[in-house]
Structure 1
């Protein structure tokens, strides 16, 4: 007897609740094609804008409009900083997003921090914290201003939690700040290489300069939100920059400290 479920039967009996769009690694730059840091993958800097435009057109024309779009970081490429084009390139991409008919939730990846300081991002259009859900009588579920994270409810009984995967990182930090010193200390304790972006010889290859992790403060907040969701029988989706989830590349795992 074949116990495998019939996909068509599941589709017929399933109720469509809501949908959402996801896009990552746009990495726009007004440059000719190039390659990634390792030189292993081709990058289509100008052409990426066409892919974004195509995605927006598809989302806008869906018969069932998505409730929102998740932009998972690296919205412009780090090369923009070398050409003093960071703000201009960001403006080009954000102008393109204006054509989208639904809200966009932005996360911050390493390329955001190659182009901008954290303070700049906090006051930029890439900060979509204004879309957060505020739970009455549960102040413990309100995130701190010390990291970029929030949660929202796209549909009843579903909670999306957007996390700051560079809360602990040397990228985008004021180098005179205690937190920068703390992060550099963590990095060098786990990575003795002269080139801190290299995972060569590391037993924990995630400890590279282009990576980061969560502070204990953010983890404590996450625990409070998850506890609330568990108590209220909500389904949870964790949202974080795309690179840190690339399981095929150990160096893209998050910093984990004891």
Structure 2
């Protein structure tokens, strides 16, 4: 199958399909600031990064793009949450192809799920935000909802929020549940701005990977939260990344796991040969710089061609 874009990949051959990627736009109409760790953040400029990404993807005639979550920042004034989210969605809608979104913690600080998911065209039942799609027969993309069990985004008395708060109380002794003080190693992930994949979603993942195996499909997993400690700071990991990867490793179909959330980017290959790539954040691009990319899919590899502050990465399958 060839695409009208005529893209020739890094290996000098035409990919099966190519698509755009961007993560952590975290737009807000507020002055520049800094993260908890003092890293500069450019809240208004991130809109320009997204515009450049969409222009680039349109120029390359890409059929689809994936947004890895956190489109609006938690510091966005609450009265502006809806208009700011709509503004960013409109920028994505300027892309000529399909856009697949996933939710992040910052999205959920701004809007409850029942308002957010329709804006992002995510149609999961019971306000769940996991789904899968196959742009070409040979590949399937599995989008996880990393805030399925979470202290943010659900009403306070919702079972997912109650379960999350109970879990955090057990795992994090700090009064501020976003503080990793005293937590060691990967236990530093037990923070309120992270979340977990719930039981039903885990069963769905198992079923979906089993189905993909039967159809001889290769799978790319996408999640706002990283799934491998070697690709990310421990503070950014999915609470139950180990349980998710235990399901993933039952099958040989998963070739790569792509994520956002950690902002600085990262890459690893796990013990079973699955590639993990965490994408650099659009939010942390100083004026005049960008971070987005194009991914070329081949039978035997996945190639990320990063723009500017997003590193390129060649991922050859086992």
Relative to the length of structure 1, the TM-score reads 0.83
> C-alpha separation between the residues in 1 aligned to 2:73 and 2:112?
15
Aligned match of 2:58: 60
- Asked if structure 1 preserves the Cα contact closer than 8 Å seen for 2:70 and 2:104, the reply is yes
Q: Following the alignment from structure 1 to structure 2, what is the Cα–Cα distance between the partners of residues 199 and 127?
A: 34
- Equivalent residues of 1:118, 1:173 under 8 A apart: yes
Match of 1:49 in 2: 47
Distance of aligned partners of 1:158 and 1:127 in 2 relative to their CA distance in 1, 3 Å threshold:
same
Q: Which has the higher contact order (CA 8 A, sep 6+)?
A: 2
After superposition, what is the alpha-carbon deviation per residue over 1:160-185, rounded to whole angstroms, capped at 9, x for unaligned?
A: 01110000111011112233211110
Q: Quick one: distance in 2 between partners of 1:16 and 1:189?
A: 47
Give the aligned CA root-mean-square deviation in angstroms: 2.1
Query: Are the counterparts in 1 of residues 225 and 236 from structure 2 also a CA contact under 8 Å?
Result: no
Structure holding more strand per residue: 2
| Aligned mates of 1:189, 1:90 — CA distance in 2 | 34
Indicate the residue corresponding to 1:214 in structure 2: 197
Match of residue 126 from structure 1: 120
Residue matched to 2:71:
75
Shift of 1:47: 0.8
Q: Is contact 2:138–2:217 with CA below 8 Å preserved after alignment?
A: yes
User: Aligned equivalents of 2:23 and 2:106: distance in 1?
Assistant: 12
Residues 93 and 166 (structure 1 numbering): CA distance in 2 closer, same or farther, change over 3 Å? same
Counterpart-to-counterpart distance in 1, 2:161 and 2:39: 31
Q: 1:121 to 1:160 in 2, by over 3 A?
A: same
Question: 1:147: how far off?
Answer: 2.1
Asked whether 1:177 is paired with 2:158, we answer yes
After superposition, the Cα gap between the structure-2 partners of 1:182 and 1:26, relative to the gap in structure 1 and judged at 3 Å, is: same
Q: How many residues align?
A: 231
SS for the counterpart of 1:31 is: coil
Larger C-alpha radius of gyration, 1 or 2? 1
Q: What secondary structure, in the 3-state scheme, does the structure 2 residue paired with 1:145 have?
A: helix
Per-residue CA deviation, residues 23-49 of structure 1 (Å, 9 max, x unaligned), is 11111111111112x142111111111
- Deviation of 1:88 after TM superposition, in Å, equals 1.3
In the alignment, is the contact (CA less than 8 A) between 1:24 and 1:242 conserved in 2? Answer: no
Contact 2:86 2:119 in 1 (8 A): no
Structure 2 unmatched ranges of 5 or more: 1-7, 244-318
SS in 1 for 2:133: strand
Match of 2:222 in 1: 239
Change (3 A) 1:86 1:245: farther
Instruction: State the match for 1:254 in structure 2.
Output: 238
Residue 92 of structure 1 deviates from its aligned partner by: 1.4
Change (3 A) 1:128 1:179: closer
Q: Match of 2:258?
A: none
Deviations 1:13-70 (A, max 9, x none): x44211010011111111111112x1421111111111111111111111xx222110
For 2:213, the equivalent position in structure 1 comes to: 230
Structure 1 residue runs of 5 or longer lacking an equivalent are 1-7, 130-142
Residue 54 of structure 1 aligns to a residue whose secondary structure is: helix
